[in-house]
Amino acid sequence: MEYNFREIEKKWQKRWVENKTYQVTEDETKQKYYVLNMFPYPSGAGLHVGHPLGYIASDIYARYKRLQGFNVLNPMGYDAYGLPAEQYAIQTGQHPEVTTKANINRYREQLDKIGFSFDWNREIRTCDPEYYHWTQWAFQKMFNSFYCNTCASAKPISLLTEHFAQKGTEGLDVACSEELCFTAEEWKAMGEKQQQEILMNYRIAYLGETMVNWCPQLGTVLANDEVVDGVSERGGFPVIQKKMRQWCLRVSAYAQRLLDGLDTIDWTESLKETQKNWIGRSEGAEVQFKVKDSDREFTIFTTRADTMFGVTFMVLAPESELVLQLTTDTQKADVDAYLERTKKRTERERIADRSVTGVFSGSYAINPFTGEAVPIWISDYVLAGYGTGAIMAVPAHDSRDYAFAKHFGLEIRPLVEGCDVSEESFDAKEGIVCNSPRKGVKPYCDLSLNGLTIKEAIAATKVYVKEHNLGRVKVNFRLRDAIFSRQRYWGEPFPVYYKDNMPYMIDESSLPLELPEVAKFLPTETGEPPLGHALKWAWDTANRCVVDNRKIDNITIFPLELNTMPGFAGSSAYYLRYMDPNNHTALVDKKVDEYWRNVDLYVGGTEHATGHLIYSRFWNKFLHDLGVSTVEEPFRKLVNQGMIQGRSNFVYRIKDTNTFVSLNLKDQYDTTPLHVDVNIVSNDILDTEAFKAWRPEYKTAEFVLEDGKYVCGWAVEKMSKSMFNVVNPDMIVEKYGADTLRMYEMFLGPVEQSKPWDTNGIDGVHRFIKKFWNLFYDRNDNCLVTDEPATKEELKSLHKLIKKVTGDIETFSYNTSISAFMICVNELSGLKCSKKEILNQFIIVLAPFAPHVCEELWEMLGNQGSVCDSHWPACNEEYLVESSVNYTISFNGKARFNMEFPADAASDTIQTTVLADERSAKWMEGKAVAKVIVVPKKIVNIVVK
């Protein structure tokens, strides 16, 4: 029988649905294993062969774990809110919901063809109200919580108001935007609005004034990566920095826990390092500086308190509130002009760009150690959002301060007297290198740092600062709170209404608050977000429902929030929802969560290293504090699949003609290379007829061939439509079958590595499956399988395979497993082995990779049920032991012949047998034996004289 993959795959895909093969329920009798892929955004272009790479890798693992007896959860869904659908809606008027649904259907069709073991009963879509109910719910919980530093946990905001009523801010150690100080009496005397404003300073979801990338033409805030060189990536419109009231999540409160948690999870070191840098823990000191001739004081953050003596000026971030206070009248015009200039630059550009700009404020600060007055400057190399937004500059020891001092002619004062401060002796990392332990360092008042290492000097200065009340020891994190508002339509609406300009939550029982219909997906004429177009977008607090805007009376009916949530809202807790996707009363039932706990294996791209993987860890920690999520870290093991790059093909057009010359002849002409659709090229040979039909301008194309063929050039590039190198998995499935596609994707190389898609080798994998099939059937469709017992050699071949594949799957080295399968099939074919005892087990080991063909053969061998429910075979090491060993027999060091001995033969026996062999007599030439050396399992050397 021919290996008819089309029929087999269709049959099993249908059977799996009918038999609910991949449906999973909580089963206390079995140990759980949770496999998860980062869910896709269903784009209009559909899947290309790069997308399923991670899904196949995790599917193999899921199937393997199931065969090992685990109860495996392997769900799939869609990250369905997002910008492309909205942009498309703006251009065409087509509702994003319509295009999103169509794209999802297409994705599903494509995924179904590849034979994944997803439990589709658990599918989720982030744009489904049933789903975003719980996104809104979590947001409300965050609004109603604050973060207690002492207990390192989120707590209900009611505890905070109780504390305020009893003690004001006294004894409080909580995360906040700004440190406030008031008494219980002052708190009680405040009106509702003022109290609400105060609470905003502590809520985990809060409205905050933040600097944002504002694009007036697009009418929206843009993320940093949507701004390139000061203009919007889409449209190229100017972007300015603007302070705006936005919803924020107090991710920074969790910085230390986000850092500590990394030690408890199995992620790659490089990913952990990226997260550590992003969180950016920095131990230092905050020191107060007085302003000369004024009562004002301001605080700076430094990690090098020991450099206080080298301070020669101060620098404020342009956005700092101090700028207004400290700019003198004479400097005002210059300062204003400078502020106008820096407004245009994003924070990222400011960090990347090392050109020096700045302006003098006109004021001076007093160094608290030396009493000396130093000028206060303003420059955008100091960032408003980090530390205190103000620094003490030590140009002799910090490279940016050094560049600044050089540019503006300010003093550069090294800590060690007499040090050279020229550019040659300045090290970008270390500054002017001081001798350490130091000598000749000027004492600060009564503090001497002589003889100390830098570390010791920093510690000593910190103690000094504390004891003399000059400041305090402080740990800073680079991690910022997340801006959580977007001025967009296609996202989760906030369950929030406004009373007297303050936000209030609609009651929990009224969730979800569904996204309203709008006439236009653009901002309104008055600059409000698209939800400003909604006519029915007001909250009736008495009847708990959405009503017509005209009914707003600001007594019981109020306007609803017009912003929507950002992309990461829906992806932050989706793994929890898969555990219990149809629960109408909770995000996830407590018992169910206690069963599945967290994701055991998470597979996805590295591009989410600092976005999604920080936000979801934060979100999960918050839910853990609430007692909703059992385990603090959501993703135990994480594997980043590499990218599949495209393999582009080129044709070479002779300039100013419509003639194309084959690769190896092209140097004889003046040619231009042009991308050609890889789908009309096979093994780098162009289908010239298909080329002519490809585009109208090539209809009359002529060719200069070599050996009667047109050979194309090739290059590895990003897989993209514009390079005509996109390979669609459907085409591969159609031509070779899903099992070949699955195995081939894994054969390309280690899962974690990026590699080009190169169809040239796919035939080999396809041939392997055919060869495997041929162990079961001969050419005339006769079944070859017998019940004969297996020989040692056959068992050895099989158990070698079991050992290799088991080890490979555990380490995600699937590519070498594929080679092992090929070797084993070759060995078994060589041995003409079609024994059931061997083939049954081979099928099980191959099933995670090529599930369709394995189900078919499993059934054919008369097994009951799906191969998914059989048992992963254990490797029996006994079969791997070599039963006999081949010895080289040599005389006086010269190899003469070989002899087989049982692997466990004793040296004596070997020696006697060798000497008794008649060939030995020949090589000894009648001489006496002086010595016999037996090297176990290798060699016997006979020394004769």
Binding residues for ATP: 721
Name the one residue in this structure whose structure tokens are 């015009």. 333
In terms of CB distance, is 476 or 648 closer to ligand ANZ? 476
Which range in 389-397, 456-464, 817-825, 882-890 contacts ligand ANZ by CB under 6 A?
389-397
Which range in 169-177, 368-376, 380-388, 818-826 contacts ligand ANZ by CB under 6 A?
380-388
Q: Can you tell me the distance from the alpha carbon of 47 to that of 56, in angstroms, rounded to the nearest whole number?
A: 13
Residue (of 610, 599, 572) closest to 273 by Cα position = 610
Which range in 393-401, 454-462, 593-601, 921-929 contacts ligand ANZ by CB under 6 A?
393-401
Neighbour tally for 545: CB within 10 Å: 12
| CA pseudo-torsion sign 301, 307, 309, 311 | negative
In terms of CB distance, is 73 or 421 closer to ligand ANZ? 421
In terms of CB distance, is 406 or 770 closer to ligand ANZ? 406
In terms of CB distance, is 381 or 574 closer to ligand ANZ? 381
Contacts of 438 (CB under 8 A, 6+ apart): 415, 416, 449, 450, 451, 452, 457
Q: How far apart, in Å, are the Cα atoms of 155 and each of 32, 149, 481, 496, 623?
A: 31, 10, 18, 21, 11
In whole angstroms, the minimum distance from the beta carbon of 399 to ligand ANZ comes to 9
Q: Beta strands 755-756 and 644-654: pairing type?
A: parallel
Contacts of 619 (CB under 8 A, 6+ apart): 138, 572, 573
In terms of CB distance, is 308 or 741 closer to ligand ANZ? 308
Write out the binding residues. Answer: 721
Candidate list 282, 583, 659, 888; residue touching ligand ANZ; CB under 6 A: 282
In whole angstroms, the minimum distance from the beta carbon of 578 to ligand ANZ comes to 38
Question: 3-state class of 322 per DSSP?
Answer: helix
In whole angstroms, the minimum distance from the beta carbon of 372 to ligand ANZ comes to 16
Instruction: Mark 102-121 with x for binding to ligand ANZ (rule: CB under 6 A) and - for no binding.
Output: --------------------
User: What residues numbered 653-672 form the site for ligand ANZ, per CB under 6 A?
Assistant: none
Q: Can you tell me the distance from the alpha carbon of 225 to that of 807, in angstroms, rounded to the nearest whole number?
A: 41
In whole angstroms, the minimum distance from the beta carbon of 398 to ligand ANZ comes to 4
Neighbour tally for 293: CB within 10 Å: 10
In whole angstroms, the minimum distance from the beta carbon of 329 to ligand ANZ comes to 27
DSSP states of 426-482 as a string?
EETTTEEPPPSS--SBPPBTTB--TT--HHHHHHHHHHHHHHTTSEEEEEEE-PPPE
878 burial type by CB count under 10 A (0-12 exposed, 13-18 middle, 19+ buried): exposed
In terms of CB distance, is 281 or 709 closer to ligand ANZ? 281
Q: Which two tokens stand for residue 382?
A: 């100091």
The yes or no reply on residue 268 touching ligand ANZ (CB under 6 A) is no
Length of the chain counted residue by residue: 945
The yes or no reply on residue 382 touching ligand ANZ (CB under 6 A) is yes
In terms of CB distance, is 35 or 384 closer to ligand ANZ? 384
In terms of CB distance, is 475 or 881 closer to ligand ANZ? 475
In whole angstroms, the minimum distance from the beta carbon of 477 to ligand ANZ comes to 9
In terms of CB distance, is 398 or 633 closer to ligand ANZ? 398
The yes or no reply on residue 392 touching ligand ANZ (CB under 6 A) is yes
Radius of gyration of the chain measured on its C-alpha atoms: 36
In whole angstroms, the minimum distance from the beta carbon of 383 to ligand ANZ comes to 4
Which range in 379-387, 796-804, 854-862, 925-933 contacts ligand ANZ by CB under 6 A?
379-387
Residue 855 DSSP one-character state: H
In terms of CB distance, is 382 or 847 closer to ligand ANZ? 382
Q: Can you tell me the distance from the alpha carbon of 596 to that of 883, in angstroms, rounded to the nearest whole number?
A: 46
Q: Which two tokens stand for residue 51?
A: 């997308």
In whole angstroms, the minimum distance from the beta carbon of 269 to ligand ANZ comes to 21
Candidate list 120, 182, 386, 703; residue touching ligand ANZ; CB under 6 A: 386
Instruction: Mark 294-333 with x for binding to ligand ANZ (rule: CB under 6 A) and - for no binding.
Output: -------xxxx--x---------x----------------
Residues touching ligand ANZ, count (CB under 6 A): 19
**Helices 738-747 + 5-18 axis angle, to 10:** 100
Burial 327-344 (b: 16+ CB within 10 A, else e): beeebeeebeebbeebee
Q: How far apart, in Å, are the Cα atoms of 655 and each of 180, 478, 637, 661, 704?
A: 73, 55, 54, 11, 14
Candidate list 77, 168, 389, 581; residue touching ligand ANZ; CB under 6 A: 389
Which range in 213-221, 386-394, 433-441, 686-694 contacts ligand ANZ by CB under 6 A?
386-394
In terms of CB distance, is 304 or 462 closer to ligand ANZ? 304
The yes or no reply on residue 378 touching ligand ANZ (CB under 6 A) is no
In terms of CB distance, is 73 or 314 closer to ligand ANZ? 314
Q: Can you tell me the distance from the alpha carbon of 479 to that of 252, in angstroms, rounded to the nearest whole number?
A: 6
In whole angstroms, the minimum distance from the beta carbon of 207 to ligand ANZ comes to 24
Candidate list 60, 391, 839, 942; residue touching ligand ANZ; CB under 6 A: 391
Q: Distance from CA of residue 908 to its chain's centroid?
A: 62
Candidate list 59, 79, 286, 398; residue touching ligand ANZ; CB under 6 A: 398
Contact 154, 612 (CB under 8 A): no
Candidate list 40, 431, 503, 873; residue touching ligand ANZ; CB under 6 A: 431
The yes or no reply on residue 380 touching ligand ANZ (CB under 6 A) is no
In terms of CB distance, is 192 or 297 closer to ligand ANZ? 297
Candidate list 322, 394, 678, 711; residue touching ligand ANZ; CB under 6 A: 394
Q: Can you tell me the distance from the alpha carbon of 747 to that of 750, in angstroms, rounded to the nearest whole number?
A: 8
In whole angstroms, the minimum distance from the beta carbon of 407 to ligand ANZ comes to 16
Neighbour tally for 727: CB within 10 Å: 19
In terms of CB distance, is 426 or 494 closer to ligand ANZ? 426
Contact 867, 918 (CB under 8 A): no
Candidate list 51, 397, 413, 804; residue touching ligand ANZ; CB under 6 A: 397
In whole angstroms, the minimum distance from the beta carbon of 55 to ligand ANZ comes to 39
In whole angstroms, the minimum distance from the beta carbon of 403 to ligand ANZ comes to 13
User: What residues numbered 443-482 form the site for ligand ANZ, per CB under 6 A?
Assistant: 476
Q: Can you tell me the distance from the alpha carbon of 323 to that of 520, in angstroms, rounded to the nearest whole number?
A: 41
**Helices 762-773 + 814-830 axis angle, to 10:** 40
Within 13 Å, how many C-alpha atoms sit on residue 659's CB side? 12
In whole angstroms, the minimum distance from the beta carbon of 386 to ligand ANZ comes to 4
Q: Can you tell me the distance from the alpha carbon of 427 to that of 422, in angstroms, rounded to the nearest whole number?
A: 10
Q: Can you tell me the distance from the alpha carbon of 941 to that of 334, in angstroms, rounded to the nearest whole number?
A: 94
In terms of CB distance, is 307 or 485 closer to ligand ANZ? 307
In whole angstroms, the minimum distance from the beta carbon of 231 to ligand ANZ comes to 25
At residue 34, φ and ψ (nearest 5 deg) are -115, 115
In whole angstroms, the minimum distance from the beta carbon of 394 to ligand ANZ comes to 4
- Site residues (vs ligand ANZ, CB under 6 A): 282, 301-304, 307, 317, 382-383, 386-387, 389, 391-392, 394, 397-398, 431, 476
